[in-house]
Amino acid sequence: QVQLVESGGGLVQAGGSLRLSCAASGSIFRINTMKWYRQAPGKQRELVAAITSGGSTNYTDSVKGRFTISRDNAKNTLHLQMDGLKPEDTAVYYCYVVSTYVTGTGFRSWGQGTQVTVSS
């Protein structure tokens, strides 16, 4: 089992910044891809950003130039720096981790979600 604990959400005014973190623990030998998703009320969950084990990143078009995804492999943590926030960024943000245990067992794990609210 792999546990993901998210932190850093909150209420911020438009134009402000927040930094989300996701700490992974449990049966981890290697963490592969790490991702951030978000889900706004009445909408489907969407991929926001992803980072591979080698550090390659990609972003959905709406956050390019404003959000930065990063990871600390030594601490099994994932971050999302969000700058220039807009009201349309309001959503519950989830981290998603693909990992492997020493036995070869693979895990795909979701965090519990953290609320980000951007006021206009």
CA R_g for the chain: 14
3-state class (DSSP) for residue 89:
helix
How far is the C-alpha of 8 from the C-alpha of 89, rounded, in Å? Answer: 15
The 10s digit of each residue's pLDDT in 32-42 is 999 999 999 99
- Which one, of 30, 18, 31, 24, lies nearest residue 93 by Cα? 18
Q: Is the pLDDT of residue 78 over 90?
A: yes
Tell me what the pLDDT averaged over the chain comes to.
95
Residue 72's pLDDT band, with cuts at 50, 70 and 90, is very high
Q: Is the pLDDT of residue 103 over 90?
A: no
Q: Which residues does 94 contact at the CB level (< 8 Å), separation at least 6?
A: 6, 36, 37, 38, 39, 45, 110, 111, 112, 113, 114
The 10s digit of each residue's pLDDT in 16-68 is 999 999 999 988 888 999 999 999 999 999 999 999 999 999 999 999 999 99
**CA distances (Å), 46 to each of 13, 32, 95, in order?**
22, 20, 12
Q: Which residues does 43 contact at the CB level (< 8 Å), separation at least 6?
A: 91
